[in-house]
Structure 1
Amino acid sequence: MNRISTTPGLYPLPDDAKETLSDLKGHQKHDLVSGDEGPEIEAAYDDVREELVGLQRDAGLDRVVEGQGRWDDMLAHPLTVHENVETGGIVRYYDNNNFYRDPIVEGELTFSGDLAADLEAASELTNDLQAVVPGPYSLSELATDEHYGDDEQFLAAVAEFLAGEVEAFPDVETVFVLEPSLVTDPPAEGEDERASDAIDTVAQAADADVVAHTYWGALEEKVHAHLLDAGVDAIGYDFVTNHEDNLYNVTEYGTKDSVALGVVDGQNTLVESPETIRERVDWFRESVPEAIEFDDAYVTANTGLFYLPVNRFEQKLQALADATREVTA
């Protein structure tokens, strides 16, 4: 089992960048509403990207993400910057204490290229690039549809939109598709199969290994079973929030040939040691029947790391990299 250190992205802004961007956005509020960040803000985000990629390279992570510094609205970002989406009022996602804007889809979800542009810039900084995208089910759940008319059509449209964005990506090693809503707001009977089909649509557009990463708990059994039908290379499990039910899903129903193990807490300031991370991965390997073999295990944080203080975030990156260095079994 080849252990690959990585993260689901969604990083905190470096401390110096927070103040700079706050000042710039205050002066360019009108441009931001119209979707034009302006050259000064773009340059500031370029600096953020370079710093975040540099941190991962210095730490020695096997996969390097762009960092998602521009994603003010977290997983909703690809919609909140779209020309046919109105960014509505402030809402709260996933019952946490952070607030974001509500993306209201008012027209066709045409190709944007926003994610690809960020990845193109990041590809000049590393050869081990990993893309991060919101999953179609989660993105549809976070948005308000005022164009497509029903949930089934809207989910399919979001999946096709994301597939088009993924097709435009530069060469990447891996694509992490983040699907926390599969856990927190599980799809109902019938919808669970459509959610799997939507993820498959996105995965088929990628010219790289695809990980459907779930977190904030464990998947319901039927949802997990349908997700296994999607054409992804690995499924991610949150072993911080709920290790017992996630282990049950894997041992009872199996999983893909590769797996992503969320063994570092992306929202707790306690920094896990490399030894603790190795022990958690070893526990998983020893708890799963020997007959189940894995090609790769992505050793990762369970969630994005945005809510951590910058120093703790940096320490967790280093711990992840150190935990997998020269460990292959």
Structure 2
Amino acid sequence: MTQIVATTPGLFPLPDWAKDELSDLKGHQKTDLISGDEGGEIVDAYDRAREEVISLQQDAGLDRVVEGQLRWDDMLAHPLAVHDSVETRGIVRYYDNNNFYREPVVQDDLTADGDVAAELDAAAELVDDGLQAVLPGPYSLADLATDDYYGDEAAFLDAIAEFLAGEVEQFPDVETLFLLEPSLVENDPDDGTDERASEAIDAVANATDADVVTHTYWGPIEEKTYAHLMDADVDAIGFDLVSDHDSNVYNVQEYGTKDDVALGVVDGQNTLVESPETIRDRIDWFEQQTNTVYDTVYATANTELFYLPVNKFADKLESLANAADLEEVEA
């Protein structure tokens, strides 16, 4: 019998009050600052916002609760954008949408700085069980950044993986780690790099005892890249069924997948709220098409959720949780 686990890939929208308060405190649009350099009032605002989004997930009944990544104005580039060895330069388009981030240019040795771990430590005080960590996958983080230090693409990817693994080693106990890898779709690695990307993911996954999900989105992964990703020691691979369900199913039909799977069954960029029944139908369809009963299905949004208005974001969390409850009722 499949266990349905309701969760998200994180990167939540800031509560409306927090947007206003942080804008007033900083005197301009909210921008990320290195933890510790933020003023006390700013830290307090983020703390209260974190408490709010964690309570929202708990009240909705999600099986996995994330910290929310509310400080991540640079989205997946955040862990580098706040690092002492990185200079943030001009504004760059975040993949092919209307969001932007500051280009992180690596200029010195990357060592784990504990920024994400500190956020998780704060979240762990509010979550008794079911805490889930969120990180950019190493290939996507390397893709979003510019190397001005290591001088070699392979060495840079290895350094990013080592940096993320070091960060993971500082995490408190978490049940699940979501590694977000949209660049595997958006900037398909060429021959050789696809294998190195899989090895980099493997290096990060091996830094934790938690269940690791490599979540991909905005389309299907190219076949050769997917075949290499299957070699990574992760517990589940994520598929964006919202963007392209047929091609994602084809990869699984041709190459198989892990015993667990993450399914992007809620649109993280559209305000239409899916019903629990629709979510369950999408999960059931995937199992039927791949002729597999999975040990665990992580039912999740296909993308990060910062694109959504707060009220629609909250409604989608409830739908995900209620879809998992439907499984329990029908079992």
TM-score (norm 2): 0.96
1:112 aligns with 2:113: yes
Stretch of structure 1 that moved more, 25-34 or 89-98: 25-34
Instruction: For 1:188-203, list aligned pairs within 5 A.
Output: 188-203=190-205
Residue 305 of structure 2: aligned partner: 305
> Paired residue for 2:143, among 141, 144, 147?
141
1:280 aligns with 2:287: no
Paired amino acid for 1:170: P
Change (3 A) 1:246 1:29: closer
> Paired residue for 1:174, among 173, 176, 181?
176
**1:318, 1:31 → 2: CA distance?**
29
Q: Is the 8 A contact 1:111 1:161 kept in 2?
A: yes
- Count of residues in correspondence between the two structures: 327
Residue 219 of structure 1: aligned partner: 221
Q: Secondary structure at the match of 1:116?
A: helix
Q: Secondary structure at the match of 2:101?
A: strand
Q: Is the 8 A contact 1:24 1:41 kept in 2?
A: yes
**1:172, 1:158 → 2: CA distance?**
21
**1:30, 1:232 → 2: CA distance?**
33
Q: Secondary structure at the match of 1:327?
A: helix
Q: Is the 8 A contact 1:31 1:38 kept in 2?
A: no
Q: Secondary structure at the match of 1:97?
A: coil
Residue 78 of structure 1: aligned partner: 79
> Paired residue for 1:157, among 150, 153, 159?
159
Paired amino acid for 1:300: T
**2:124, 2:11 → 1: CA distance?**
17
Superposed displacement of residue 188, structure 1? 0.1
Q: Is the 8 A contact 2:88 2:104 kept in 1?
A: yes
Change (3 A) 1:264 1:209: same
Residue 319 of structure 1: aligned partner: 319
Q: Is the 8 A contact 2:32 2:73 kept in 1?
A: no
Change (3 A) 1:252 1:54: same
Q: Is the 8 A contact 1:35 1:83 kept in 2?
A: no
**1:54, 1:38 → 2: CA distance?**
25
Superposed displacement of residue 33, structure 1? 8.0
Paired amino acid for 1:192: D
Residue 56 of structure 1: aligned partner: 57
Paired amino acid for 1:309: P
Change (3 A) 1:6 1:196: same
**1:87, 1:47 → 2: CA distance?**
27
1:122 aligns with 2:123: yes
Residue 67 of structure 2: aligned partner: 66
Deviations 1:296-324 (A, max 9, x none): 00000000110101100000000000011
**1:119, 1:238 → 2: CA distance?**
26
Superposed displacement of residue 39, structure 1? 1.5
Instruction: For 1:96-107, list aligned pairs within 5 A.
Output: 96-107=97-108
**2:259, 2:293 → 1: CA distance?**
7
Superposed displacement of residue 98, structure 1? 1.1
Q: Is the 8 A contact 2:61 2:321 kept in 1?
A: yes
Q: CA RMSD in A?
A: 1.7
Change (3 A) 1:280 1:31: closer
- The answer for unaligned runs of 5 or more in structure 2 is none
- The answer for unaligned runs of 5 or more in structure 1 is none
Deviations 1:109-155 (A, max 9, x none): 01210000000100111121000000000000000110000110000
TM-score (norm 1): 0.96
Q: Is the 8 A contact 1:35 1:81 kept in 2?
A: no
Paired amino acid for 1:180: P
State the identity %: 69
